[in-house]
Chain A
Amino acid sequence: MKSTKYSEKVLDHFRNPRNVGTLEGDDVAVGKVGNPTCGDIMEVYIRIDGEKITDAKFRTFGCGSAIATTSMTTEMVKGMTLDEAMKLTRQDVAEELDGLPPIKMHCSNLAADALHEAITNFRRGRGEHVDEVEMTSIPEPGCVVGQDEFLNKGVWLGVNDPSEFKDLRTLILHSGDESVELAIDLTEQTDRVILLTPEKTVMTTPELEKRLEESNVKLLTESKLLEIRGEFEVEKVLIFNIDEDEEYELFVDAVVIIE
């Protein structure tokens, strides 16, 4: 089956998604799954009255089936009790949509997971006992492979003359306010500046945070630099996504590590 060969029901939910939006209030719980690397992010909002789900909304970044499955999930859960909703599976959602192409069954059908997360969050907030979900272990920070080998061959330990970065795709490791300021300054030399931090956000002063937000600096959060690669000079880096427990290569021309 072609990856875009969808049932009429899937196409209907893609074209006319039900319940797009968010909910607010003390009686609202949110569940979020996916990540932009894999190509799908789904947020499910539910309003809960006692044990019953009275309303549901969603927002989705992703392909056609991602949008359709979240839309369908919000339709299905309205009126369900929390226990019933916890039993709703990806398979149930797919069946209600008259099936999904096999290749889409996993990554684009996470809406039920987002729903379960919302319910778990809500129950935990009420002080109920909830089975703990296993946490992904975060590896200890270590030295970057290739840092010494490529020193002055694309690896910089400090920057005196920003114009040397003209048109270079530059990766800067976040290490205090100096690195944030440098990242913002370098956007005047090159349109590709990436600031990498293992944290969920870049910790800095409110003033720099605002400037960073308005700048063209691309943020890579919850990420670590594992290795610098190339022949004779820096050509790419190996990045570890902590949240996803995944490694991938990124092509860059320069790496700035201010220690």
Chain B
Amino acid sequence: MKQVYLDYQSAKPVDPRVIEGMSKYLNEAFGNPSALHQVGDVATEALEESRKSIAKFINADEDEIIFTSGATEAINMGIIGYALRNKKKGNQIIMSEIEHISIHNIAKHLERLGFEISKVPVDQYGRINLRKLERRITDQTILITVGMASNEIGTIQPINEIGKLAAEKGIAFHSDAVAAEGLVPIDVKKDNINLMALSSNDIYGPRGLGIMYMQKKYRINPIIIGGGQERGLRSGSEDIPGIVGMKLAAEIMNKEMDKEVKRFKGYRDRMIKQILEEVPDSYLNGHPIERLASNAHFRFDGIEGESILLSFKDLNISVSTGSACTSKTLEPSHTLIATGLLHEEAHGSLQLTTGRFNTDEDIDIVLEAVPKVVSRLRDMSPIYKKK
């Protein structure tokens, strides 16, 4: 049976062109950029070329890119590093209710360190309310962090307006761009972003690599201390093969994104239209227009997400859900709850995210399966009532 993968938001395969380009840095050109000999010079050149290329991908300058071991580290560095460096200026940090779980956990950590966290609610489509954000700003606010798009429901935030507001108030603006990268153009200058996290895998590069972008006049305290690599901000010998991989991934993305996004939109709009039409009592989670091209997120009355996921597993289709039964904490998705859903509604959700290697046939297969799976589970559900 054909394997259908519709969970690109959780992991992506590395593009074969990237693997080909990075492989020589695993053995042939294995040097350490800190070494002053010729072997080291080859590595230094690869490192700095990559920095330039990735800077171009987000319209930053090359000395604003710091390589990390992934987006989680970049987010820790950007938020905790900035908070610790600037705690004399104030102790309040504003974030949205639908940030990635890693930022919610960083917020808990910062609260224990004495910072105050204010969370801005979102509307029923998951969009941040700018008026509510502005009202939360005090003379103690040092940082605003709002992700570019939701990794779960795909809602795109009004980043330009938030950046403008932060700049007017003289507050640093951090954005987790992981869910959005490769799907919407990123321009840190135009959007007044001061700190940002990106992951390599989310643009089909190797895992275990990411960057923190930091605008020139901004300062952070490093989280990882050591031999002083990356201007002392992120010590540890650079992962040159990974870095070259991310560079190649960014270059491919620069060239192919427009076309690719158009293709994903076709998949997405087809899935949304057909599922809402064919499955009774089904709803779209997230924003109807301001949403990532790759994201289709549904909920179905009367059934539970893990059952949906298991049913798809038997059909060789990989999908995701916001149901509590699949999470580590047995709590439903905080994102779905923030849009105003009840726990029982959040349980019946299905997340379909497409990517580079999907085909029309994949979409055909999933569209044929969804109504069948939903109706089978509803037939044995005591709480599903046909309207």
Question: Is A96 an interface position by the 8 A CB rule?
Answer: no
Segment of B5-13, B30-38, B268-276, B332-340 in the binding face: B332-340
B382 touches A60 (CB 8 A): yes
Segment of A39-47, A48-56, A128-136, A143-151 in the binding face: A39-47
A34-77 residues at the B interface, CB under 8 angstroms: 36-43, 58-64, 66-67
B314 touches A41 (CB 8 A): no
With known contacts A4-B306, A231-B136, A39–B381 Cβ distance under 8 A: no
Chain A residues with Cβ under 8 A from B342's Cβ?
37, 218, 220, 250
Chain A residues with Cβ under 8 A from B165's Cβ?
none
Partner of B325, one of A20, A39, A42, A169: A39
Partner of B340, one of A43, A61, A169: A169
B329: min CB distance to chain A, Å: 10
Cα separation A235 to B324 with both chains bound (whole Å): 23
CB-CB nearest in chain B for A10:
B310
B135 touches A231 (CB 8 A): yes
With known contacts A43-B382, A60-B380, A60-B382, A252–B303 Cβ distance under 8 A: no
With known contacts A36-B347, A61-B381, A62-B307, A251–B337 Cβ distance under 8 A: yes
With known contacts A39-B347, A62-B304, A252–B314 Cβ distance under 8 A: no
B379 touches A36 (CB 8 A): no
CB-CB nearest in chain A for B313:
A4
B383 touches A39 (CB 8 A): no
Question: Is B241 an interface position by the 8 A CB rule?
Answer: no
Question: Is B330 an interface position by the 8 A CB rule?
Answer: yes
Question: Is B161 an interface position by the 8 A CB rule?
Answer: no
A59 touches B380 (CB 8 A): yes
A232 touches B380 (CB 8 A): no
Question: Is B372 an interface position by the 8 A CB rule?
Answer: no
B301: min CB distance to chain A, Å: 10
A19: min CB distance to chain B, Å: 10
Chain B positions 362 through 387: 1 when the CB is less than 8 Å from some CB of chain A, otherwise 0 = 00000000000000000111111001
A196: min CB distance to chain B, Å: 11
Question: Is B121 an interface position by the 8 A CB rule?
Answer: yes
B132 touches A231 (CB 8 A): yes
Partner of B307, one of A3, A37, A64, A232: A64
Question: Is B282 an interface position by the 8 A CB rule?
Answer: no
B304 touches A40 (CB 8 A): yes
Chain B residues with Cβ under 8 A from A249's Cβ?
337
A63 touches B379 (CB 8 A): no
B1: min CB distance to chain A, Å: 15
Cα separation A36 to B299 with both chains bound (whole Å): 14
Chain A residues with Cβ under 8 A from B121's Cβ?
230, 235-236, 251
A33: min CB distance to chain B, Å: 11
Residue of B324, B343, B387 contacting most chain A CB atoms (<10 Å): B343
Question: Is A9 an interface position by the 8 A CB rule?
Answer: no
Chain A residues with Cβ under 8 A from B387's Cβ?
214
Question: Is A197 an interface position by the 8 A CB rule?
Answer: no
CB-CB nearest in chain A for B283:
A191
Question: Is B60 an interface position by the 8 A CB rule?
Answer: no
Chain B residues with Cβ under 8 A from A233's Cβ?
132
Cα separation A66 to B382 with both chains bound (whole Å): 13
Chain B residues with Cβ under 8 A from A107's Cβ?
330
Measured as residues with beta carbon below 8 angstroms from the partner, the interface class of chain B is: 35 or more
A17 touches B340 (CB 8 A): no
Cα separation A108 to B342 with both chains bound (whole Å): 20
A63 touches B325 (CB 8 A): yes
CB-CB nearest in chain B for A103:
B330
Partner of A192, one of B124, B326, B381: B124
With known contacts A39-B324, A43-B382, A61–B330 Cβ distance under 8 A: no
Question: Is B118 an interface position by the 8 A CB rule?
Answer: yes
Cα separation A248 to B345 with both chains bound (whole Å): 14
Question: Is B70 an interface position by the 8 A CB rule?
Answer: no
Question: Is B256 an interface position by the 8 A CB rule?
Answer: no
Question: Is B323 an interface position by the 8 A CB rule?
Answer: yes
Chain B residues with Cβ under 8 A from A218's Cβ?
342
With known contacts A64-B310, A250-B340, A36–B380 Cβ distance under 8 A: no
A31: min CB distance to chain B, Å: 12
Chain A residues with Cβ under 8 A from B324's Cβ?
39
Question: Is B212 an interface position by the 8 A CB rule?
Answer: no
Chain B residues with Cβ under 8 A from A167's Cβ?
123-124
A117: min CB distance to chain B, Å: 14
Chain B positions 285 through 310: 1 when the CB is less than 8 Å from some CB of chain A, otherwise 0 = 00000000000000000111111011
Chain A residues with Cβ under 8 A from B277's Cβ?
none
Cα separation A167 to B127 with both chains bound (whole Å): 13
With known contacts A59-B381, A59-B382, A61-B383, A39–B304 Cβ distance under 8 A: yes
Question: Is A15 an interface position by the 8 A CB rule?
Answer: yes
Cα separation A244 to B340 with both chains bound (whole Å): 20
Chain B residues with Cβ under 8 A from A66's Cβ?
304, 307
A197-214 residues at the B interface, CB under 8 angstroms: 214
Cα separation A60 to B337 with both chains bound (whole Å): 24
A28: min CB distance to chain B, Å: 15
A15 touches B136 (CB 8 A): no
Question: Is A32 an interface position by the 8 A CB rule?
Answer: yes
Question: Is A240 an interface position by the 8 A CB rule?
Answer: no
10 cross-chain pairs, A with B, having the tightest CB-CB distances, nearest first: A36-B344, A63-B306, A63-B325, A59-B382, A61-B381, A251-B340, A169-B340, A37-B343, A64-B310, A235-B121
* 17 cross-chain CB contacts under 8 A: A4-B313, A11-B310, A20-B380, A36-B347, A37-B342, A39-B332, A41-B383, A42-B382, A58-B380, A61-B302, A61-B303, A61-B383, A61-B384, A62-B307, A66-B304, A192-B340, A233-B132
Interface on A for B, CB 8 Å cutoff?
Answer: 3-4, 11, 14-15, 17, 20, 32, 36-43, 58-64, 66-67, 103, 107-108, 167, 169, 191-192, 214, 218, 220, 230-233, 235-236, 248-253
